[in-house]
Amino acid sequence: MTKEKLSVEKILEKLDKGERIGIDEGIFFLRQAKKLLGKSELERFFSAAKAQAKKNPPPAPLRIERWQYDANNIPEPAAPIVFLQVENALPLNDVLQAICAVAAKAKVAALTPTDVLRLATNEKLKVLTVAQRLAEAGLSYIEGKFDAKADDTLAMDEQFSVVMMLQRFGIKASAWLPLSFDDEEKVRHLARLREFHDRTQAFDFLFLFCTNKTSEKDLLLTTALARLMLDNLKRIALATYSEHQTKMLPAEVLQECIALGVNQV
């Protein structure tokens, strides 16, 4: 069977109808957007993202405090969520004790999939056992910062499996999209997040992780693409449990990101 030839117009027609775009279409469109697209085509792409954004919750700040854990000083939190920074050298029991102490006062976000794998290895325990103990201690959220490179599928699979095990015990994860990924890596990662969330409902939101090298155009295109591809995830964020990036952006760029789908700031 002959593969249908891709074109910007066909992709825009799908977007206009509210249909999902696939990996090949996403890669093709992003590449064209950076080279050949005219203003009218970009406006249709952005208009489709803005229409999708209106179907999701309105913009709101992430109400969170970020604490370095100190067993001798656990103040009353002023926000409903506390991101707990714990030292990498802490053994599992100390981590559980820290989570338990703070969970008595607020919902707790802490750790990453890599941290969970490290704790399981150090304690010679199954990851599922560590996930259960974290949930029993009161952990509500984990920072879904995948440390694996985009093309390291084995390491990426391992980190996705950690998120899935945590979800079995009710622990939600953020989903990170590094804007340092190239166009193909971004699209493939978004498609994988979409498929994984379809199956597990494990993610709380998508976090767009910017760097100092992220251009305004790249941020806007990626925001629009993410909003269109992740039709199963209600929130796209520039603020996550451990990071807050909105102050990095000019006000007009932030407002355009919000129009295109960012609704956690």
pLDDT band at 37 (very low <50, low <70, confident <90, very high): low
Residues 211-219: what's their mean pLDDT? 90
Ranking 16-30, 32-46, 56-70, 134-148 by mean pLDDT, the lowest is: 32-46
pLDDT at 112 over 90: yes
pLDDT band at 34 (very low <50, low <70, confident <90, very high): confident
pLDDT at 179 over 90: yes
Mean pLDDT of the chain: 92
pLDDT at 108: 98
Residues 136-154: what's their mean pLDDT? 88
pLDDT band at 1 (very low <50, low <70, confident <90, very high): very low
Asked whether 233 and 205 are in contact (CB, 8 A), the reply is: yes
Give the closest residue to 184 by CA, choosing from 28, 37, 32, 42. Answer: 28
Asked whether 62 and 77 are in contact (CB, 8 A), the reply is: no
Q: What is the pTM of this model?
A: 0.93
Q: 71 — phi, psi (to 5°)? A: -60, -25
Domains with residue ranges and CATH for the chain: 52-264 (3.20.20.70)
pLDDT at 70: 83
